[in-house]
Amino acid sequence: MQPNTLLDALIDEAGFSHAGLAARVNRAGRARGLGLRYEHTAVARWLKGQRPRGQVPDLICEVLAERLRRPLTLGDIGLGVDGAQLTLPGTPLAGFVDRATALWRSDEQQRRHVIEAPAVTGTPAVMPVWEWENPPEDADVSRSGVTRVSMADVTMLRAARAHYELMYRRAGGVATRTRIVGFLNAETAPLLRGSYNDALGRQLHRATGGLVAVAGICAYDSDAHGLAQRYFHQALRLAKASGDQGLGAYVIALLVNQSLFLSEHRQAVAFAEAALRTAGGRITPALAADLYAMQAKAYAQLGDHASALRCIGRAESEAERIHFGDEPDETGYVQPGLVNVQAAEALLSLGDLAGAREHAAAAAGTPAHDRGRVHRLAMLCEIELCQGEPDRAAATAVEMTERVRGMESRRLRDRLRTVREHLLASGSANARQAAGFIDEALRVPL
């Protein structure tokens, strides 16, 4: 029995206390000739996942719909036949918004069943991408609500996305996640439920999609992979509602990256192909370069040497076409040298140490923000160790460790641990000393 987060969020939106909802359900029941005597304790049981009997689910739906001034189904309040809480295939946009904001609220409240949920696989993982690719499109995303949305609100959401992305790069996803989720609940949710016409609504959904994608990145960096996946799926649905296929392709790139981490290599290849095929000319060179580079890593893991090299070539060609002034804000992570470090990882998997070293050195020698530089130095360090140069690798590891201080990131912690193990295995005195520096860094939260 899982907590009913949808019902919880709708009660909060309606401004009802538990006792207040119980009283209104009793009153609605009397109008149907029912002698109900529910109290606040019954509502608490419903929120824990207990399904009320008889006509009561319909009465709860009726009471909430009247207060919120919009139609609600049993599925919308988490009391459908199967009690499903996830965003279902074909869910209307209004129902999606209710489910999305319920997830944000549960995340902010640190609900374990949401935070600790595993990533889904198979059809549930693929369906959101398939729905993004295929009709029907949203004919009209306008909405009538309490809060009147303006273009200034959209601008505010865009600025927030940039702010939290920068915070993530500097401090890591662990520290940033609580802040961005708080913003989603306090500022973004009322706007999505507000009043806007179709044109403004599409810009609102696009801005929200970019913000939700960053929340997913922070969850991924916090090792909450099921939660991150749900945020990415939300961002993809918001991208579809906005009509911006380029944004959708960016979100799929995030799903490709997560698939690689979870060793779902065939899925990574398929998702990247979906983005490249569906968005077509709306994919910018920076995003295309990243998608091809990640495909190369997936093919390398699958042992497909020819396809990996082909994708590295495509990634390099796209990287040469990048004009950063023409790129949207979301693709700012594709900085000079990113394709090199991705190619280095693919070539290392293929056993081409010389090629991997050339690309890793080029990446490490290119300016990047601190987080990106840590990953580049870690890759170069591992290749130097593979080539039998432990003293050079030790110097690289020391620089990497200096860069990571102050960041709270599970992914960076994992990367440091891997490098530490490889340094210790080399048997070099300098490498052991560098491993000691990493130990010191791991004693504080990353």
Distance, CA of 277 to CA of 273 (rounded, Å): 6
Residue 88 clears pLDDT 90, i.e. is over it: no
CA 192 to chain centre: 19
| pLDDT value for 83 | 41
pLDDT (mean) for 237-241: 97
Distance, CA of 434 to CA of 284 (rounded, Å): 40
Task: Name the average pLDDT for the chain.
Answer: 93
Residue 392 clears pLDDT 90, i.e. is over it: yes
Q: Are 120 and 255 in contact (CB under 8 A)?
A: no
Residue 444 clears pLDDT 80, i.e. is over it: no
Q: In Å, how far are 16, 33, 36, 50, 59 from 53, measured between CA atoms?
A: 21, 16, 11, 9, 11
Indicate the pLDDT class of residue 270, thresholds 50, 70 and 90.
very high
| pLDDT value for 445 | 62
Report pTM.
0.87
Tens digits of residue pLDDT in 134-149: 999 999 999 998 899 9
| pLDDT value for 70 | 86
What is 181-242 written as a DSSP string? Answer: HHHIIIIIHHHHTSBB-HHHHHHHHHHHHHHHHHHHHHHHHTT-HHHHHHHHHHHHHHHHHH
Phi and psi at residue 323, to the nearest 5°: -120, 105
Tens digits of residue pLDDT in 340-389: 999 999 999 999 999 999 999 999 999 998 899 999 999 999 999 999 99
| pLDDT value for 81 | 63
Q: Tell me which amino acid residue 408 is.
A: E
Q: Which residues pair with 196 in a beta bridge?
A: 143
Distance, CA of 178 to CA of 318 (rounded, Å): 36
Q: Are 138 and 226 in contact (CB under 8 A)?
A: no
| pLDDT value for 90 | 53
What is 404-445 written as a DSSP string? Answer: HTT---HHHHHHHHHHHHHHHHH--HHHHHHHHHHHHHHTS-
What percent of the chain stands above pLDDT 70? Answer: 97
Residue 76 clears pLDDT 90, i.e. is over it: no
The domain spans of the chain are 5-85, 86-243, 369-446
Q: Are 227 and 219 in contact (CB under 8 A)?
A: yes
Indicate the pLDDT class of residue 75, thresholds 50, 70 and 90.
confident
271's CB contacts (< 8 A; 6+ apart) are 129, 252, 255, 256, 259
Tens digits of residue pLDDT in 172-203: 999 999 999 999 999 999 999 999 999 999 99
Residue 153 clears pLDDT 50, i.e. is over it: yes
Residue of 367, 371, 380 whose CA lies nearest to 411: 371
Distance, CA of 320 to CA of 80 (rounded, Å): 52
Asked which of 62-71, 77-86, 234-243, 379-388 is least confident by mean pLDDT, the reply is 77-86
Which tokens is 190 given?
């009322």
Tens digits of residue pLDDT in 323-342: 988 999 999 999 999 999 99
Distance, CA of 437 to CA of 240 (rounded, Å): 46
What H or E segment, with its residue span, contains residue 149?
none
